[in-house]
Amino acid sequence: MGLSNYTARFTNFDAKVEFDPQQLEQSKVTATIDPSSIKTNYPYPQKKDFDKKLVEGTEWFNVATFPSITFTSMGVKLTGDNTAIMTGDLTFLGACRT
Is residue 97 in a domain? no
Is residue 19 in a domain? yes
What's the pLDDT at 3?
A: 64
Is residue 98 in a domain? no
Q: How many domains does the chain have?
A: 1
Is residue 1 in a domain? no
65 by Cβ neighbours in 10 Å (0-12 / 13-18 / 19+) ranks as exposed
Is residue 88 in a domain? yes
Please answer whether residues 46 and 80 qualify as being in contact, where contact means their C-beta atoms are separated by less than 8 angstroms. Answer: no
CATH number at residue 41: 2.40.128.110
What's the pLDDT at 39?
A: 93
Written as tens digits, the pLDDT of the chain (98 aa) is 566 777 899 999 999 999 988 999 999 999 999 999 999 888 777 777 889 999 998 999 999 999 999 999 999 999 998 899 999 999 999 999 98
Range of the domain at 16: 9-92
Is residue 35 in a domain? yes
